[in-house]
Amino acid sequence: MGRDIGLSLVYRDMWQSSGKYMPRVDQLVRVAEPIVEMGCFQRVETNGGGFEQINLLYGENPNKSVRDWTQAFNDAGIQTHMLERGLNGLRMFPVPKDVRKLMFKLKKLQGTDISRSFDGLNDTRNLQLSIDYAKEGGMISQCCLCITHSELHTADYYIKMAGELIDMGTEEICIKDMAGVGRPVTVGKIVEGIKAIRSDIVVQYHGHSGPGFSVASSLEAARAGADYIDVAMEPLSYGTVHADLITVHEMLKDAGFSLPDINMKAYMQARSLTQAFIDDFLGYYINPKNRLMNALLIGPGLPGGMMGSLMSDLENNLVGLNKWMAKNNKPEVTQDELLIALFEEVEHVWPIMGYPPLVTPYSQYVKNAALVNVMQMMKGKERWSLLDDNTWDMILGKSGRLPGNVGEELKKLAKEQGRDFFEGDPQDLQPDALDDFRGKMEEKGWDTGQDDEELFEYAMHPAQYEDYKSGKAKSSFEKDLEGKKSEQSAPVTSDSSSSVSAIVQPKTLDIDVNGEKFKVSISYDEADTATPAPAETPTQTPVAASTNGSSKEILAPLEGTIYMTKDSSETAIKVGDLVKVGDIVCYIEAMKVSNAVKSEVEGTVSEVLVKDTDAVLDDDVLFRVN
């Protein structure tokens, strides 16, 4: 028999890389038993990342979800692991120190064994507290190397980083190949280098399948000494997700590794249940394009998990862009032309922005900057003419050290705008917050929960938790789902731009597995991915103004959703108000950031043409000012 190697099912990431939502807790509990009975997994990824925020978004208590979902694996002796974002915890922006500390203690009590921690900039400083707090809370600390491919991101770069993390006390290393662009031989060299530093350190390989490298990378990692390989399973494997269990299992067996057989009867039960969850409601939020693999992703290195939102961004912005093109007697742009222009711009701006690893949230920031640049330049404007504050914080060092140097053009622009680079520890910018949130809960009469788990949720996801408690989240989700179902019931047209081919497709298949016959249902969901939850920290974007007779028009700088105020402390602009240059007039949520729209004109508001939650396109008139 060959060397033992373990498999981990990334059941959480399977869903998060496919669409917007996770299964409900009752569904997760149902599928847990057959996953255990499959008998081939030493580990299962159960929670973390956007898991808890997603629960809140459709009105479900995430603490109950984690406790109930992990129970079957705890009972069976299968290790559970969660994903956390270091400085950003379970969200897209930095988290206070005391909230981070509570998270690790709480997740262990709820049944999670391993904390998989990553920093989106590969700044090891941001992971020291994750290591310390995980071990203090009784969890196994597993730290990630966020894999990307550039002149800086070499095997030696990652081996050096792994050595730093091992010296800092982490007990395991994860090769987090979030875009699947790690070249197989390089992945093998990284694993060999880590094992040379310390032969007994546990190494786990996690690779998305989008560009097509991950199966070969899994084999190279295993041969180089990796202890665990992450896999997905049908009906969600491949595409923007991960390599399939059966493929990887058979490949490793053929290579001489020792691993348990798959109980195929249990496998088919888990597969069938997963498909049932898709058919129930989750399929309405899975873009069919996420089922495809695409070698074009190798160039820009964008993670497969964001391709659904990226395609949605392209479609929405294309409408506004072509509206402007028509108004200015220019030829329309196709989606493919915009996509290729975006990929080329990502490759251009990525080094200038300091080579941030293209992982959440920095992949979104690079993509956003590139897309806005492309659209602005198509209109004859300059590159970087619109750059949001979230992206500036990354560039300025407020999220951690960038791997590369910021380009001179951005340094010059920062100086012109009075922006200062930050050299300190990003955690120092986040004061403790638990006492403040505890006080707010007392005022509202809310219980802080078992082991302070409700306090943690409120502190980690304030806006989403308030919407959950009020019932707004549940009602909004149900309304949105009803809309999705109505769209699906509409007659299918022969639109040649449809992402799903209009051919006759089977609804069921009869499959024979080792003499046992199974009837398998096949679903062909075509729902678009919903817009992700917005970031809670607004950014500021200057907007254009144009004249219309004696009045001036304040125009939308980009496509998105209008919000007249950020919170209850602000008052919405109304007719008769005086606005000055630089005043914030409203906000536009777009591409996971909230842009504060600032006026470039002065005068009295004569007309307000938008209201809360209105969808606007680039160049739409928002206000008229006399």
Strand runs labelled E in 491-532: 508-513, 516-521
Mean pLDDT across 99-122 = 97
> Residue 256 pLDDT > 70, yes or no?
yes
> Residue 449 pLDDT > 50, yes or no?
yes
Of 450, 137, 434, 109, the C-alpha closest to 117 is 137
Of 202, 212, 189, 18, the C-alpha closest to 114 is 202
Mean pLDDT across 276-292 = 88
- For residue 557, the model assigns a pLDDT of 83
CB 10 within 8 A of CB 35: no
Q: In the beta sheet, which residues pair with residue 624?
A: 553, 607
Band of residue 549 on the pLDDT scale cut at 50, 70, 90: low
> Residue 479 pLDDT > 70, yes or no?
yes
CB 83 within 8 A of CB 174: no
Mean pLDDT across 434-451 = 97
- For residue 280, the model assigns a pLDDT of 94
Band of residue 108 on the pLDDT scale cut at 50, 70, 90: very high
Mean pLDDT across 358-368 = 88
Mean pLDDT across 74-101 = 96
Cα gap 513→232, rounded to integer Å: 19
CB 309 within 8 A of CB 367: no
Which has the minimum average pLDDT: 64-78, 168-182, 314-328?
314-328
- For residue 251, the model assigns a pLDDT of 98
> Residue 338 pLDDT > 80, yes or no?
yes
CB 251 within 8 A of CB 243: no
Where do the domains of the chain lie, and which CATH numbers do they carry? Answer: 6-290 (3.20.20.70), 303-428 (no CATH), 433-470 (no CATH), 538-625 (2.40.50.100)
Between these two residues, 199 and 301, which has the higher pLDDT value?
A: 199
Distances (CA, A) of 610 to 104, 315, 585, 624: 44, 22, 11, 11
- For residue 383, the model assigns a pLDDT of 93
| Helical (H) or strand (E) element with 538 | strand 538-542
Which has the minimum average pLDDT: 175-179, 355-359, 370-374, 490-494?
490-494
Distances (CA, A) of 127 to 292, 429, 624: 34, 16, 49
Tracing tokens 């009105």 back to the chain, one arrives at 59
Express each pLDDT in 535-544 by its tens digit: 444 444 444 4
Distances (CA, A) of 486 to 96, 327, 435, 527: 42, 33, 45, 11
Which has the minimum average pLDDT: 348-352, 499-503, 533-537, 616-620?
499-503
How many Cα atoms occupy the beta-carbon half-sphere of 463 within 13 Å? 9
Residues 508, 512, 518: CA angle, nearest 5 degrees: 45
> Residue 141 pLDDT > 90, yes or no?
yes
SS3 14: helix
Per-chain mean pLDDT for the chain: 88
Mean pLDDT across 85-99 = 94
> Residue 501 pLDDT > 50, yes or no?
no
Band of residue 308 on the pLDDT scale cut at 50, 70, 90: low
